[in-house]
Amino acid sequence: MEILRGVIKKSLIIILPAAAASAFVEWKRLPLGIMIGWLFGVVNLRALIKNVEGVVGSRKATAKMIFLSITRLFMLFTAIFIIVWLKIINVFGMLLGFTVVFVLILFEGMKIGKRG
């Protein structure tokens, strides 16, 4: 969970000003897209961490873990599809939010990996 805390802290420093600045471009859909992309990225990271900890703890991937992973991904894709289909958010904003979380996952992982 150390990586999750680091990603959340650092991503908020980037996401909140980006969402505030994007309000001047498109006041409603772009900031909402950035925040929803960030939220989906963080929630997905949290679920992924819990799944990996469960697999590492039991030393084998159980059917329950696989089912939960597939269900989580299906729910994520369904939520993204509905939000984009209803045109509630700006898709590029959502991609920006996802990208920030993804890049910070890479940096936090490298930092923790170097530490040992």
**What DSSP assignment string belongs to 78-102?**
HHHHHHHHTT-S-HHHHHHHHHHHH
Share above pLDDT 90 across residues of the chain, in percent, rounded to a whole number:
59
Express each pLDDT in 66-94 by its tens digit: 788 889 899 999 999 999 999 999 999 99
CA distances for 57 relative to 1, 4, 52, angstroms = 14, 18, 8
Q: Which residue has the higher pLDDT, 113 or 98?
A: 98
Instruction: Name the band, by pLDDT with cuts 50, 70 and 90, for residue 64.
Output: confident
The dihedral of CA 30, 92, 21, 10: what is its sign?
A: positive
How far apart (Å, rounded) are the C-alpha atoms in residues 6 and 3?
5
How far apart (Å, rounded) are the C-alpha atoms in residues 103 and 86?
28
Per DSSP, 26 falls in state: S
pTM of the model: 0.86
What angle, 0 to 180 degrees and rounded to 10, lies between the N-to-C axes of helices 63-85 and 29-58?
A: 170
How far apart (Å, rounded) are the C-alpha atoms in residues 54 and 48?
10
Q: Are 34 and 22 in contact (CB under 8 A)?
A: yes
Residue 62: per-residue pLDDT: 73
* Type of residue at 28: K
